[in-house]
Amino acid sequence: MFKIESNPAKICLGISAFLLLIYSISFMFFSTEYVTGGDTGFALIDNGLAGMLGEDPAYGMGGIETGFNGVLFFGIFISTMLILFEGAKGKWTIMLPVILGMTTMTVCIWMNWNPDSAASETPKYVSILVTLIYIAAYALLREEGVNEGLSDFKPGLKVDDKIAMGALFLLVLSGLYYSLRMIFTPEDVISEGFPAGEGWVDDLEAAAGLGAPLPTTVSVTGSLILMYTLWSALVLTDGAKGKWAIMHPSAMAFIAATVTSYIGLVAGLARTTSDANKMDILTIPLVMLLVLISYFRLKDEGMEDGMTFRGEPLEDGGKFTFALLAIALIVGLLTMINEVLLT
């Protein structure tokens, strides 16, 4: 079933994928429950602050933003499973950006952790664990060709299609804008989205998990966005040939992000008050469209060269489009049940 020969590498990637899946599902579907310690309903995992409303500064803060982080974790989970099922050959394009992003995320969590909160410190140590075992998997996979093509990488504008080039430029520039601000100045990002002194900010219901996000949450978002940004940058600077492996997880993640965001609007759980909030809501579907435009426009430049399914050569024939629709339907249905029908 798995196309990785090294058993230690399989174990490392398997543990990484498992932890990414747990946090992805927990954040995507139980984010408000997570930040309230399970007080608002079932939580797959939680922050350990049950019953501490008004007593702890982290209680009920950033449920919406935590949910978005879950969707981004989902894309990284897909990319990890892709390595397991399709093999390591040439997958440095996936792994190096993820290693950089995970390392950044770990540093951000430790630097921005609120010492005044009694919240569970599990994320601090899980982030270190996942980063280290993912790096170990990368090192173990060198003998299986994970670095194939890396020595030939010479950055430049390697995309011929002008529309796809423009879409990738927008993805890279917007990704850098969002990720670097969130990583280095999360407090400024929060103050723009939730201006101090505004009545609606004071009225946010921490009891429902809808309080303003904390710097830790925002910086994690920036670290995750950085991974997707680096993937887009690789397509732009290394060419489209064989880059299906990094574009599939990106497309699936932002399809899911768009669906969950707009169901959140229907459920009244989306942030729409400040200008920054409105810009975020508009940016998510734009990113999805830019990723899809880039992918489909670059088919003629070898985007799907070497594409496999369970290690066997695969002619697309609409299968990727079907997979995107299936993910949109499944994630949308689960989100609607959770946020609309069960609330």
pLDDT of residue 309: 80
Q: Is residue 105 part of a domain?
A: yes
Q: Which pLDDT score is estimated for 108? A: 98
Report pLDDT for 317.
Answer: 62
Q: How far apart are CA 246 and CA 287, in angstroms?
A: 15
In this structure, what token pair is assigned to residue 334? 């689960």
57: exposed, middle or buried (C-beta count within 10 Å: 0-12, 13-18, 19+)?
A: middle
Q: Find, among 267, 150, 162, 153, the residue nearest to 209 by Cα.
A: 267
For residue 2, tell me if it sits in a domain. no
**Which residues, 6+ apart, have CB-to-CB distance to 272 below 8 Å?**
265, 278, 281
Any domain includes 58: yes
Q: State yes or no: pLDDT of 32 exceeds 90.
A: yes
Q: What are the residues whose beta carbons fall under 8 Å from the beta carbon of 48, sequence distance 6 or more?
A: 37, 118, 119, 120, 122
Asked, for residue 203, whether it belongs to a domain, the answer is yes
Domain of 64 in residue numbering reads as: 7-341
Q: How many separate domains does the chain show? A: 1
249 has pLDDT over 90: yes
- Residue matched to tokens 């990002």: 189
Q: Within a domain: residue 132? A: yes
The pLDDT confidence band at residue 66, using thresholds 50, 70 and 90, is very high
Q: What's the pLDDT at 200?
A: 85
Does residue 154 lie in a domain region?
A: yes
The β-bridge relationship of strands 308-309 and 312-313 is antiparallel
Q: Looking at the predicted structure, is the pLDDT value of residue 130 above 70?
A: yes
The answer as to whether 1 is a domain residue is no
In a domain, 240, yes or no: yes
Whether the Cβ atoms of residue 44 and residue 26 lie closer than 8 Å to each other: yes
